[in-house]
Amino acid sequence: MARDTAHPINSLGFAKPEAETRVVVAMSGGVDSSVVAAQLAEEGYDVVGVTLQLYDHGAALAKKGACCAGLDIHDARRVAEEMGFPHYVLDYENVFKEAVIDEFADSYLAGATPVPCIRCNERVKFKDLLGTARDLDADCMATGHYIQRKVGARGPELHSAADANRDQSYFLFSTTAEQLDYLRFPLGHLPSKDATRALAAKYGLSVADKPDSQDICFVPNGNYASVIEKLRPGAAEPGDIVDHEGRVLGQHEGVLHYTVGQRRGLGIGGLETPLYVVKLDVEARQVIVGPKAMLSTAIVPVREINWLGDDAFDAVAERHVSVKVRSTRAPREAVIRPLSPITAEVELHAPEEGVAPGQACVFYETGGSRILGGGWIWRGD
């Protein structure tokens, strides 16, 4: 009787030795992706580190706490040297500007608090970088994101991270089933960021105590206005503050200085009812204000839907799920009514404030950890 010589499944899910399993690690230069690379290298995998230079490294050299430029590229290269695996830097500045930065400006001016990290994952890291990993004959690509990939009855599923405080599922909803088959997220099961830093110390990494990135990488010190002013000069021009019926209440110094939901700093005090920014109209150079009730909505139009469920998205008339309309909010129960394979109307059980076009609406299994996909909020017809 022939002996079964099949190799046991390794930690990345392949039935072959670690040394024969090539994994490309997307390295931002931070502690998370550095730990992923070091851990896989120590386990004996054929690791290749790749870092994307996404914006002007000259300007970024002086900025700490960003990713994908300057000091962080140096840090990623140093980790590769310390752990003894090859590392490559790819210049993706033009792609990043076209696919991420330009839309960021438009989304901000449409009244959203933009989430360019989603588009970066969708259009750059999980598209072009993933293609590069395939070109390098890698079996898979690993990242430092805090999210879990679990294999279910019908294939790989996306699940929230074990540590709810670090969970990045809101930013990864657009990961397709095909991409999920190829991706690995080794940190998703860890109980805390402290556990990640402990691993960094264990491997003796120079980035073990490096602080987390706080700002959007291309927005120095969180100053959105200065970036928008360069990208969309008209947004800095003065104009009228008007109420929802068009009455002029005051003047502003540029719509880019306002966000939907803002109450303070409007310069139109003395009114009986507090007013909030409810809309920004860049073309008319108007900041539209109204009572707080105008910020509340229960019906959310969603498009460009990426569905990760087991059946076709529009196979049923209604789906009872939980959704997030902002990254910082817990999932709330809702009903999704598919209008097509990629569009839907989402009805929230309880109305929420500050739902704005340009933000994501992410679908979760109610009472569970599985991410069922999501889409982009828009104004509707």
Which residue among the candidates 67, 68, 117, 217 is catalytic per the annotation? Answer: 217
- Tell me the C-alpha distance between 22 and 17, whole Å: 10
Measured on CA atoms in the order 179, 184, 188, 194, is the torsion positive or negative?
negative
Annotated active-site residue 120? The verdict is yes
Q: Is 26 annotated as a binding residue?
A: yes
State residue 4 phi and psi, 5-degree precision. Answer: -75, 115
Closest by CA to 172, choosing from 147, 143, 142, 141, is 147
Q: Is 28 annotated as a binding residue?
A: yes
- Tell me the C-alpha distance between 248 and 268, whole Å: 10
- Tell me the C-alpha distance between 38 and 55, whole Å: 26
Contact 236, 113 (CB under 8 A): no
Q: Is 36 annotated as a binding residue?
A: no
Q: Which residue has the tokens 């003047």?
A: 251
Instruction: State the pairing for strand pair 46-53/87-91.
Output: parallel
Annotated active-site residue 361? The verdict is no
- Tell me the C-alpha distance between 130 and 274, whole Å: 49
Q: Is 27 annotated as a binding residue?
A: yes
- Tell me the C-alpha distance between 132 and 265, whole Å: 47
- Helices and strands counted in the chain (H then E): 10, 17
Q: Is 144 annotated as a binding residue?
A: yes
State residue 192 phi and psi, 5-degree precision. Answer: -165, 165
Q: Is 111 annotated as a binding residue?
A: no
Q: Is 310 annotated as a binding residue?
A: no
- Tell me the C-alpha distance between 9 and 17, whole Å: 8
Q: Is 31 annotated as a binding residue?
A: yes
- Tell me the C-alpha distance between 179 and 308, whole Å: 11
- Tell me the C-alpha distance between 139 and 46, whole Å: 10
Which residue among the candidates 67, 68, 117, 120 is catalytic per the annotation? Answer: 120
Q: Is 30 annotated as a binding residue?
A: yes
How far is Cα of residue 210 from the mean position of the Cα atoms in its chain? 21
Give the chain's length: 381
Question: Which residues participate in the annotated binding site?
Answer: 26-33, 52, 144
Question: Which residues participate in the annotated binding site for ATP?
Answer: 26-33, 52, 144
| Active site residues per annotation | 120, 217
